[in-house]
Amino acid sequence: MKLSPHRILSAVSLVLFAAAPLVAQNSSSSNAEAAAQTAPVQRRGVEAAGSAVTLETSEQMFTVAAALNTCGYDAGLAESLPVRSAVRREIADQTANVDGGLPAQRALCGYIQSHQLPGSQNLAQFVSLALFLSPDLQLSFPENEMPPDALNVVNVLPLLRTWASTIHLHAIFVQHRADYEQAVLQVHDTVTRMLLETNAYLHQPATVYDGRRFLVLLEPMLSPEAANARIYGTDYFVVLSATRPQADAKTEAMRKAGLHLEELRHIYLLYEIDPIIYARASSTARLLPILKTVQDAPIDFLYKNDVNAFLTECLIKAIEARTMDTGIEKPSRKANGKERFDPTGYNIALQDYERRAEVVRRQQVIRDMRSGWVLTQYFYDKLSTQDREGISLKESMGELVYGMDVPAEASRDKKIPFFDENSPELVGVSGSGASTTRRGKAVKPQPLTAMDQAELKLQQGDRVGAADLAEKELAAHPDSTSAMYVMARIHLMQREPQEAFDTFEKIIATGKDTRTVAWSHVYLGRMYDTALAQPDRTKATAEYKAALAMPGIQPDVQAAAEQGLKQAFAVPQRAAHPAPAQPNDDDDIDAITRKQKESYQPNQEKKPQQ
């Protein structure tokens, strides 16, 4: 199975890969290692969706996390399970007492410290790399199929292998295998219950397997405050750690499991809702005016320019508000002691509960709206009707999209006073009140890169400004795929087909961003289909097939390529008396999608988008 970046979420740094079986490394350094050959770690499935959903551990992830710990990674140590401190002590003892231990550690830590990135991006790049490793710590996929953040630290692998072998790290992992199994047992029932309850709310059958996967990797050596997730292709992976069970957790389930379930549930909702939204991707274009109302909102650039990603996030916010723990005790139907059940009193108490709980939920919706997720209220109200009628989200999605009065909604949304980006009330993408890496503190949107700004200018019709930024980027970085992609589309808009063609071909030949390469194939296919001199359908279909063959094809690219195979692309016909030109009005070949790059920020992989 091949992989390709799908998107980066800022709520949790999200990562996806092709799962390798947990096979013990070959070694004869100890009896424990020999025992590992016959006692593989059990893969414990989470029953909510059969084989599509699993909960397990990975020795590759353990090895990378252990390396980070030995090189100064102390985040969340006090809240971590006891096994983390025990492993750290044993690693320190081994490093000090075996021949070559200290030199191997110094070399490893020197590399790790020289490749640090700010904030959660630093951990994300190593987690991303770990997901692409085989049990012998070799890359399980070619480098050109790996995400950019993992490539940033790929050269740590020789140092990592030397260090792990020198201190017999595999033996340490085997020694603590029971602790890892116990950690899985601690969270298993809670995760299962959360998935089942989510499926029940969505009216989603629990046994449907559609070829996609949702895998939860538990790694106690990482901070419990930093859930990491990635999406590649059709697979969703979440890497997280459990805390020591806490008495002050919001719910009994969270207290027992020591998990931050809000982040995990958020990603699972994304897993369930993604295919529903993207099955109607062509229909959501009518909602584009909504994006104009959030250009000044404190949300990430991707969500301001990808209507499907924005739509999905608002819908998830609404579901989270509808199902949130309000902190208000719900009345029970059970009688107290010997007292007889009083249906009248119960109904009065239930109505009072619903009234007070609704106030709390509406307050959350307001926070979501003021944080930039302006469609939350629309979806919240629609979901209340759906809840009463027992309609599944899949069945009602068409009505949610087609039934929206877009002008009225946009007019209302323009009046929403957004929070300042530093406001403690700001709600990020990881769930109600949650954040990227630290609970209780909202995600601060990162500043736009030069190419982010170029994309924005291009979508606003400012070709001159976009070209200026792209040319400056190319002057500084001649191999910048994103800058070349901007220039290629500007050439198309300016009726310079040969320049556009040559640039797209250069992207395909040299680009490492598989998403941009795939779209370049699509554009070349459209150019062959619409060539004025002589359309070449054979070459066009070859380009569409090349796009579909790219690893981890994403829904929007796939839809464009499949449409190209189905019928030749045709330049949209203009009206006999066209209205005054709008921004990008002459962007014919780029009519289906407008570029929003997937890798705006290495720690924010997001929904499929062009």
Question: What average pLDDT does this structure show over 57-67?
Answer: 95
pLDDT at position 25, please? 30
With a cut of 70, say whether residue 201 has pLDDT above it.
Answer: yes
pLDDT at position 551, please? 73
Between these two residues, 587 and 502, which has the higher pLDDT value?
502
Strands of the 228-232 sheet, one edge to the other: 5-7, 228-232, 235-240, 213-218, 53-56, 44-45
pLDDT at position 49, please? 39
Q: What are phi and psi of 495, to 5 degrees?
A: 60, 45
* Distance separating alpha carbons of residues 231 and 269, to the nearest angstrom: 13
242: amino acid identity, one letter: A
CA–chain centroid gap for 228, Å, is: 9
190-204, 388-402, 483-497: which range is least confident on average?
388-402
* Percent of the chain residues topping a pLDDT of 70: 75
**Residues paired with residue 7 on neighbouring β-strands, in sequence order:** 231
pLDDT at position 280, please? 78
* Distance separating alpha carbons of residues 217 and 46, to the nearest angstrom: 12
Distance of CA 37 to CAs 41, 60, 165, 419, Å?
10, 16, 17, 55
Please report the sign of the dihedral spanned by the C-alpha atoms of residue 260, residue 262, residue 268, residue 274.
negative
Distance of CA 502 to CAs 308, 508, 514, Å?
31, 10, 18
330: amino acid identity, one letter: K
With a cut of 50, say whether residue 584 has pLDDT above it.
Answer: no
Maximum Cα interatomic distance, the chain, rounded to a whole number of Å: 90
pLDDT at position 430, please? 56
Question: What average pLDDT does this structure show over 158-163?
Answer: 96
Taking only the tens place, the pLDDT of each residue in 295-345 is 889 888 888 888 888 999 999 999 999 998 888 888 877 655 555 666 777
| Residues contacting 485, CB < 8 A, separation 6+ | 503, 507, 516, 519, 520, 595, 597
Q: Which of 237-246, 407-416, 456-465, 575-584 has the highest mean pLDDT?
A: 407-416
* 208 class by beta-carbon count within 10 Å (0-12 exposed, 13-18 middle, 19+ buried): exposed
With a cut of 50, say whether residue 78 has pLDDT above it.
Answer: yes
Give the H or E element holding residue 217: strand 213-218
Taking alpha carbons only, the member of 606, 556, 599 closest to residue 151 is 599
Q: Model pTM?
A: 0.66
HEC string for 150-183? HHCCHHHHHHHHHHHHHCCHHHHHHHCHHHHHHH
Beta pairing, strands 5-7 & 44-45: unpaired
CA–chain centroid gap for 302, Å, is: 12
At 310 the three-state DSSP class reads helix
* Distance separating alpha carbons of residues 193 and 253, to the nearest angstrom: 9
pLDDT at position 431, please? 40
Taking only the tens place, the pLDDT of each residue in 437-473 is 222 233 344 455 777 778 767 766 778 888 988 998 8
The two structure tokens encoding residue 493: 């808009």
Q: Which of 190-194, 258-262, 313-317 has the highest mean pLDDT?
A: 313-317
Q: Which of 11-25, 168-182, 198-212, 322-336 has the highest mean pLDDT?
A: 168-182
pLDDT at position 389, please? 81
Half-sphere exposure for 372 (CA within 13 Å, toward CB): 28
Question: What average pLDDT does this structure show over 397-404?
Answer: 84
pLDDT at position 246, please? 60
